[in-house]
Structure 1
Amino acid sequence: MRALRLGLCLLFPLSVSAASCALPTVQTDGWELSTPEASGFNSTTLCMTLTAIARGKDNIHSIIIERHGKLVAEMYRSGKDKSIARGLGVWPPFAPTIDFGPDTLHDARSIGKSVIDLLVGIEKQQGKIASLATPVLDYYPEHKDLRSPALDAINLEHLLTMSGGWKWDEGAQPNNEMRLFWKSDPVRYVLGRPIEAAPGAVWNYNGGGTLILADIVSRVAGKPWLDVANTELFAPLGITQWQWVTDLRGRPASFAGLRLRPRDMAKLGRLMLNHGRWNGRQVVAEDWIDASLTPRLSVGFKSPGDQPDEIHYGYQWWAGTAAWKDHRVAWNAAFGNGGQRIFIVPELDMTLVVTAGDYGSDEMGAKVNRLLHTVVATVAR
């Protein structure tokens, strides 16, 4: 039987040792550890929440909670997983069951988009990107035949906020995102899409814009964006185990292919909460972090709950609010298909990471979004 890791609260009744429920494990990855009580949680309520998930039927694979820079809770489960690495988004007939643990890489999917945003910020702080108002086509003289007044108006900020105005659909297959895996020139494919809205006016989810942002990072850095990610972001954070899945042409899928350990996803959350600093080093400029997390455009739907909040989008990061005590607190998040999340709640100085395996499921997305509200409510002080 595959092991289910949830600390001692799965071995004894909750009334015996709620304090030991889902305690994080000691590793050499740079994380300090704490307990729910010391970190200001109601340990009994938090343990009940985690235990219900661990014993439930939802295909959630891991939950990591950190607060004030220390890991507070860590839970892993066995579950079926259809990794993008197994078929570039075309699912195999049977999903294998994986025994997830602290060192198991998990699909992060579109969380990679939020990472690409950080790479853009790194290049901008180095002076290699002068202005977000720069027209995208300025970086692509080889595609000058595509020029039009509408396309000339699309700039880098529009790519970051997914408001370029292109006709783009990432719904049922085959969709525009899936075509990015197969096109011989995916940049030209994105640039050549019909434009149906004024740039900056309407939010429309578009992984093609992220692909262009990653390509621009490569062009201004003078090396592959994957090398920038490794040397200038992951290495400073002590992230050594990671993968970026490639297509059949060997190109890393910037918009969907990232795979990370959940504990390392939490490092990205802590980096954002620390305004771009990690262990005293300014990895990403503070003003870029602030700009990325600033809500800019409504995405047109709300998160579930008794008091649903309208969700907005910043620079490849999502934003909303959750109820806490007598008011609402702001949250930001990196979202990934299937239930992948890095939630940060700046007012509570807290990160919640969730990984799951129901790719393409709106229901799973709603469940993990509700989980944020549940965990926020367990914070006592």
Structure 2
Amino acid sequence: MKDDRFTRRLARAAEQGRIPDLHGVVAVRDGRVILEYYGEGVDFRLNESLGRVRFTPETPHDVRSVTKSVVGLLYGIALADGRVPEPHEPLLRHFPEYPDLAGDPRRAALTVGHALTMTLGFEWNENVPYTSAANSEIAMELAPDRFRYILERPIVAEPGTRWSYCGGASALVARLIEKGTGSALADYARARLFEPLGIGRFEWATGDDGTALAASGLRLAPRDLLAVARLVLDGGGGIVPASWLAAALRPHVPISEGRHYGYQWYIGDTWVGAFGNGGQRIYVAPALNLAVAVTAGQYDLPDQPTATVVIDEVILAGIGRRP
């Protein structure tokens, strides 16, 4: 840990039992590391128990749904390469293998942007544990054809009007990248995002069909997760086009008071971020020149406060800013 102010605040929060299952946090402000901490605890690789792990700066960690936001960055790179459709283009035009679905006028009106913003209007439920086939993401993984499973979901809301959390949307975005680039998602990520960022090691889990889990399958070490956060803080760093970040990090659809969704990223009043089950977090506050990465082990718990406490009560309060 790098700064006594933040070290003391973190220790106090730990003593009070307010940051259970914290596995790691790295925070940078004005280009300087202000806090770096690694703990110990029970961890998982998706639903596979890894037992008790002592974490280090190099220990890979599930980032769960932060994966979605990385996919959003990859889409911007592929778009600049001319490999994927613009957000306004019809979605099913790029899935010609499902002509029966394209024959439905409501589905034919779906756009790539509806997938990017999770406003497809599909019936989709991820409010049950990720160990249950009642969870739509798990049902997608169990389906003979994951993309047909997504695209044939009943439409229960007018597309483009309401945000509804949907890992299937991220899977469609990733499939467009693979179709357009001719590369597996992990290979494209390695060549166009991770290696340029200096990230030499990552893991990307695949389903039984060999398809990369675009909604939740990425594993990164905390410092590498921070590298992604700093990329966003730096306006793309010449890796992700600044024009794409401007579009992706603009509020496209409201989620709740003070929170919106962009292109696979969450948008607050003063921050942008990525969230993953268990307390995985990227938090970027441009006005503070602040980037934070958090990993934690609160998987599938109804309340997962650790990352919020670390960011709000340790880092932002330590800076002297209210969340």
Deviation at 1:53, TM superposition (A): 4.3
The reply on whether 1:294 has 2:233 as its aligned counterpart is: no
User: In 1, Cα distance between the equivalents of 2:143 and 2:9?
Assistant: 44
User: In 2, Cα distance between the equivalents of 1:208 and 1:342?
Assistant: 21
After the TM superposition, list the runs of 4 or more consecutive aligned residues in structure 1 that deviate by more than 3 angstroms. 53-57
The reply on whether 1:283 has 2:283 as its aligned counterpart is: no
Count of residues in Structure 1 that have an aligned counterpart in Structure 2: 313
User: In 1, Cα distance between the equivalents of 2:56 and 2:240?
Assistant: 29
Partner of 1:168: 124
Match of 1:222 among 172, 182, 191: 182
RMSD of aligned alpha carbons? 1.7
User: Does structure 2 conserve the Cα–Cα contact (< 8 Å) formed by 1:110 and 1:336?
Assistant: yes
Deviation at 1:85, TM superposition (A): 6.0
User: In 2, Cα distance between the equivalents of 1:140 and 1:268?
Assistant: 30
**Pairing 1:257-276 to 2, within 5 Å after superposition:** 257-276=217-236
Deviation at 1:129, TM superposition (A): 2.7
User: In 2, Cα distance between the equivalents of 1:354 and 1:377?
Assistant: 16
For residues 18-63 of structure 1, give each alpha carbon's deviation from its aligned partner in whole angstroms, at most 9, with x where no partner exists: xxxx12xxxxxxxxxxxx4xxxxxx43x222221345565111111
User: Does structure 2 conserve the Cα–Cα contact (< 8 Å) formed by 1:69 and 1:270?
Assistant: no
One-letter amino acid matched to 1:191 = L
The reply on whether 1:47 has 2:7 as its aligned counterpart is: yes
Deviation at 1:106, TM superposition (A): 0.5
The reply on whether 1:159 has 2:121 as its aligned counterpart is: no
Match of 2:78 among 88, 103, 123: 123
User: In 2, Cα distance between the equivalents of 1:49 and 1:166?
Assistant: 43
User: In 2, Cα distance between the equivalents of 1:177 and 1:74?
Assistant: 33
Q: SS where residue 344 of structure 1 aligns?
A: strand
Match of 2:38 among 76, 79, 82: 76
User: Does structure 1 conserve the Cα–Cα contact (< 8 Å) formed by 2:41 and 2:52?
Assistant: yes
User: Does structure 1 conserve the Cα–Cα contact (< 8 Å) formed by 2:60 and 2:220?
Assistant: yes
User: In 1, Cα distance between the equivalents of 2:38 and 2:213?
Assistant: 26
User: In 2, Cα distance between the equivalents of 1:146 and 1:349?
Assistant: 46
Partner of 2:303: 363
User: In 2, Cα distance between the equivalents of 1:312 and 1:214?
Assistant: 22
Q: Which consecutive residues of structure 2, in runs of 5 or more, have no partner in the other structure?
A: none
User: Does structure 1 conserve the Cα–Cα contact (< 8 Å) formed by 2:21 and 2:306?
Assistant: no
Deviation at 1:118, TM superposition (A): 0.7
Q: SS where residue 300 of structure 2 aligns?
A: coil
Deviation at 1:249, TM superposition (A): 3.0
Partner of 1:320: 268
User: In 1, Cα distance between the equivalents of 2:222 and 2:251?
Assistant: 25
Match of 1:354 among 274, 294, 297: 294
**Could you say which structure has the greater relative contact order, defined with CA pairs below 8 angstroms and 6 or more residues apart?**
2
User: Does structure 2 conserve the Cα–Cα contact (< 8 Å) formed by 1:85 and 1:245?
Assistant: no
User: Does structure 1 conserve the Cα–Cα contact (< 8 Å) formed by 2:273 and 2:283?
Assistant: yes
Identity of aligned residues (%): 35
One-letter amino acid matched to 1:371 = V
User: Does structure 2 conserve the Cα–Cα contact (< 8 Å) formed by 1:59 and 1:358?
Assistant: yes
The reply on whether 1:135 has 2:81 as its aligned counterpart is: no
Match of 1:61 among 23, 28, 34: 23
User: Does structure 2 conserve the Cα–Cα contact (< 8 Å) formed by 1:53 and 1:60?
Assistant: no
For residues 191-242 of structure 1, give each alpha carbon's deviation from its aligned partner in whole angstroms, at most 9, with x where no partner exists: 0000011111000000001001101101111221221101000000000111
Match of 2:154 among 194, 202, 208: 194
Q: Which consecutive residues of structure 1, in runs of 5 or more, have no partner in the other structure?
A: 1-21, 24-35, 37-42, 87-91, 303-309, 322-329
User: In 2, Cα distance between the equivalents of 1:175 and 1:224?
Assistant: 26
Deviation at 1:358, TM superposition (A): 1.2
Larger radius of gyration: 1
One-letter amino acid matched to 1:276 = G
User: Does structure 1 conserve the Cα–Cα contact (< 8 Å) formed by 2:254 and 2:260?
Assistant: yes
Instruction: Provide TM-score, normalisation by structure 2.
Output: 0.92
One-letter amino acid matched to 2:21 = N
Q: SS where residue 235 of structure 1 aligns?
A: helix
Deviation at 1:183, TM superposition (A): 1.6
The reply on whether 1:372 has 2:311 as its aligned counterpart is: yes
Partner of 1:311: 259
Match of 1:345 among 285, 299, 310: 285
User: In 2, Cα distance between the equivalents of 1:339 and 1:140?
Assistant: 34
